[in-house]
Chains A and B, each alone.
Chain A
Amino acid sequence: MAISRRDFLKNTAAAVALSSLTGISTEAKTQLNEDKNELLKGTKTFKAPCRFCGTGCGVQIHTKEGKIIMTEGDPKAPVNMGLNCIKGYNLSKVLYGKERILYPEIRKNGKLERVSWDEAINYIADRYKKVLKEKGPKAVAIAGSGQWTIPEGYVAAKFMKAGLKSNNIDPNARYCMASAVAAFIRTFQADEPMGSYADFEHADVFVTWGANMAEMHPILFSRLVAQKETTGAILFDLTTRESRTSDEAESVLVFKPQTDLAILNAIANYIVANDLYDKKFVEKNTRIKMAQIEPGYGIDPISAPHLAAMENAQRGRKKAGAGTPMTFDQYKNFLATYTFDYASKISGVPADKIKKLAQAYADPSLKVMSLWTMGFNQHTRGVWCNHLIYNIHLLMGKISEPGNGPFSLTGQPSACGTAREVGTFAHKLPIGVVMKKAHREIAAKIWLGDAKKENEIPSKPGFHMTKMMREFERGNLDIMWVQCCNPFTASPNISRFRDRSLNKDSMLIVSDSYRTASTDLADVVLPAAMWVEKEGFYGNAERRTQHWFQATLPPGEAKEDMWHILAVAEKLGLGHMFPDKDDPQRVKKIFEEYRQFKTGSSKDLAPYEEYVKARGLCWPVVQDKKTGEWKETLWRYNAKYDPYASKALGGKKEGIVFYKAKGKKATMWCCPYEPASEVPDNDYPFWLCTGRVLEHWHTGSMTARIPALHRAVPYAKLEMHPEDAKKLGVKRGEKVKISSRRGTAFYEVDTHGRGRPQKGLVYVPFFDENNPINMLTLDHYDPISKEPDYKKCAVKIEKA
């Protein structure tokens, strides 16, 4: 790392220039899977997607003698055009942080001790054999991640669902965008956004709903602001805490937590009551259903006894996801209560501000792009929020067109690619869900060689992530294998999960690159290769699948997560299901097998070689029959861009059709406003909201190891409204004690930071592993998506 950027460029300028002049990308020439030693020779340039958020920026990696000396934004990447954020700029350093885990370790007499790979794998395999024999496949689980590469996620899903016959596999994406997934499926019967990032250059109005894009999706926000500057587009920001995004907004609507439901309904009411909706579109493309009201809050009485009565009362009802068909008039009547005044009264936002927003949505001449992330998804009514935003777009027909559309952003590099598309969820398969026989048959045919073996894949969904953590805590899971994530910092209410008194006999396996709270609790720690230390694919928020080659060797004895699973699978006699763990072509083989699921399903992927060449392709990638060219689709459901939509419309090149939806009609779900589960009261008078900062990513297990980023933001601070601080008698920079019914922590107060919470709300980012705010959060979740709500719980604050 001693070589400066300038020196490096001088040395390699010739090589890079040559490769770009001849038009042959260097990465194509350096297909080095066959010979690892090749990696160590000379200087080379590789392409890869960034390893952090869901934007999926392209980076160029320059290596010298097998070591990465520099990364920079890839000018050819359509996502970021050579730009990066502060995290992306420091990407290469993430591989070379202090305290990488280098060797497999097993806990012996309470201490983690270095062992050989053979010993570790045998130890794990023996335990698996014993547990599977005595307790069956329900006693084992894998907690995965949206940071798994696509082949890794695919191998893990196949290993669990077809190999061990257990559905107990769920990614940490459950904590991130499960609500978005559930709403997509319930509305369109097909997951993932219809639009793409190209929408940013076409929109007239942007609306951010509980998304601080300025910090969480910095490169995309840069595009949004450029569009504002060049075309005069406007931005509405709906939030509970003013942020950097609000600074750019023409109108900021600061609402009380949970009342977004009322605002969304008020907008729909304005559109319907004033007959402003697109009648043709609504009639042709939609149907309406009433959601099951009061479906509960997923509260565990152990963690919140004060809410147990309410939870029990609500849980007694029908299934949370149930719905009853409704006519448009009934829908109109339902909405009638949500006047601007009513919404204003509940939310605390002035009525005229809501009206202006509603007018922007209702103006047929304006192209509106709605953007959201965790504000909607991490919400006890997250699925409903997602539904309500689709309702508005469907009512206006503002969907699936350039610049028009609801766009659900993601937080992990492969939340879409691995978690959603591969289906590493407890209920999913690479195509469809485990509950449906037809889907299991497809999976059985590819995985087990015979569609008739579908009964071998269990039809009942396994444990979702929160449930998995709860079951592990109670000792009901004998083996939990954590890969690519840090649930013992990231889960809500972690103090209960960190207590291992009830599950002393269970085995916790953690595959990770750095020491985290999860590895500290683990019985077996396996060193994992990360990012470009292995070959892989990531899928970003705009359905873009991106490939990268291995650019450097992992340190010590670290191996990719897939290798860990394949090694154990081999010992369990499942080796025949997978390519050899050391096969240099394994990623290609696995990807081609995975591709079979997608072909012809309207989620088609291109062959492996196409991804090697391209800077990612947005699925469905369909081959042009005449030219043989593989073409990506930027706008789904739109016959002009999507060949499947064109096919569904009988070859027409115009029009929108939700061809995956039942009867080709998207469902508008009618969802009321319901209060949050834990609301501030006299004892705990403040709302607590958690989130991220630009400089750090998730629990900081990577970014906190990068010295420059750690120096930039070394610890978490508590953001508070200056008047609240004055009332409590605390000044900026002083420490406060913050406590909820579940835990206590100490933070420095900031009253004048980049985020400015509303009165009565405090905000703490969750990256600080030494001082995790998740000690305080409540493990309540959306009963449909099972995604926890990290944005709302009641706390009290005292001067420390």
Chain B
Amino acid sequence: MNENKEKGYGEEIQFTRSSVVVFFIFLFHIFRGFASGRGFKQRPPGAGGNHRKSEVDSYIAEASFLSKCIRCGQCGVVCPTQERGEETAKAIQFCKSGFDQGTPYIEPRKAACIMCVDKPCVVACPTDALDLGKLDIEQSIMGTAEIVSPKGCLAIQGLRCEVCYNRCPLIGDAIKLEKRVNRRTKVHIIYEPVVDSDVCTGCGICEQVCIADEAVIKVRQYYPPFKDPDFYKFKGSS
């Protein structure tokens, strides 16, 4: 008994090298799942310095943004009010609960970022939580659009919708149309919207305007292309 007790409390738990690797891979997957799924929050442009020219990864930018945001609400004040018929809405809203309570986020289905040319929210931010440097708003990364349920997309079914393409602020660049002949009718074209995630800013206008009951195109976390293939490799492993 005594021996056992001593063993339990006294000795350091010996991590094998492989168990550490497994643990990190586990963590990484949780992070990825967290980031690409429900956990993703679309932040205003330049959150945590996330833009085309920066090297930061989107979830590192998120952590950086959370540490720098002082929850002052200035970005929401300057965010322009959008007319929605009788209703009005602002793109920037604030988290009401949780560990990030008071931080700004965007819910595109309600009101997407309209990508103001003069970036009022970035200018208004007293810290550098929202930071685009001297870059244009087109260089910001709020996420990237993704057709999450292609089966529900009218354009892919051959119907002439393409509203996401038509309303995209970077029409033809961020969303492109791929053509193919409709195999059923043989005399119609199908315009399939395809997102170029290296151009898409993730403003969310496509998600807002999608005419399906639940948007089939949604803003998701953006992962930059792997520049360094060894980036995620555990350096210590042999």
Contact = CB atoms under 8 A, between A and B. Distances in A.
B32 interface: no
Interface centre among B83, B160, B163, B180 (most CB of A within 10 A): B160
Contacts, number: 103
B215 to A, nearest CB: 10
Nearest to A710: B85
Interface stretch (B41-49, B110-118, B139-147): B110-118
Interface string A77-91: 000011111101110
Interface string A691-707: 00111000000000000
A84 B162 CA distance: 12
A86 B154 contact: yes
A712 B117 contact: no
B211 interface: yes
B19 interface: no
B159 A73 contact: yes
B187 A227 contact: yes
Contacts of B83: 714-715
Interface in A197-223: 200-201, 218-219, 221-223
Interface in B154-174: 154, 158-163, 166-167, 169-172
A703 to B, nearest CB: 11
B181 interface: yes
B189 A222 contact: yes
A226 B160 contact: no
Given A86-B161, A219-B160, A201 B187 contact: yes
Interface string A727-769: 0000111100000000000000000111000000000000000
Given A229-B181, A714-B85, A733-B114, A223 B208 contact: no
A61 to B, nearest CB: 17
A754 B171 contact: yes
A86 B159 contact: yes
Nearest to B172: A247
Interface string B61-74: 00000000000000
B181 A694 contact: no
Given A89-B211, A229-B189, A733 B116 contact: yes
A73 B184 CA distance: 13
A693 B209 CA distance: 14
A222 B166 contact: no
B224 to A, nearest CB: 25
A695 to B, nearest CB: 6
9 contacts: A81-B187, A89-B161, A89-B211, A90-B211, A222-B182, A222-B188, A227-B187, A244-B166, A694-B163
A73 B117 CA distance: 41
A225 interface: yes
Given A83-B160, A89-B154, A708 B211 contact: yes
B96 interface: no
B167 A712 contact: yes
A731 B118 contact: yes
B160 A694 contact: yes
B179 interface: yes
Q: Which 5 A-B pairs have the closest CB atoms?
A: A218-B160, A85-B160, A708-B211, A225-B189, A731-B117
A753 B186 CA distance: 30
A752 B211 CA distance: 22
A517 interface: no
Given A200-B187, A715-B83, A754-B166, 16 more contacts: A81-B187, A84-B160, A85-B160, A219-B160, A222-B158, A222-B188, A226-B186, A226-B187, A226-B189, A230-B186, A695-B166, A710-B85, A711-B208, A712-B167, A713-B167, A754-B171
B185 interface: yes
Contacts of A85: 159-161
B169 A752 contact: yes
Given A84-B160, A694-B160, A754-B171, A226 B188 contact: yes
Nearest to A230: B181
Nearest to A201: B187
Contacts of B85: 710, 714
A709 B85 CA distance: 12
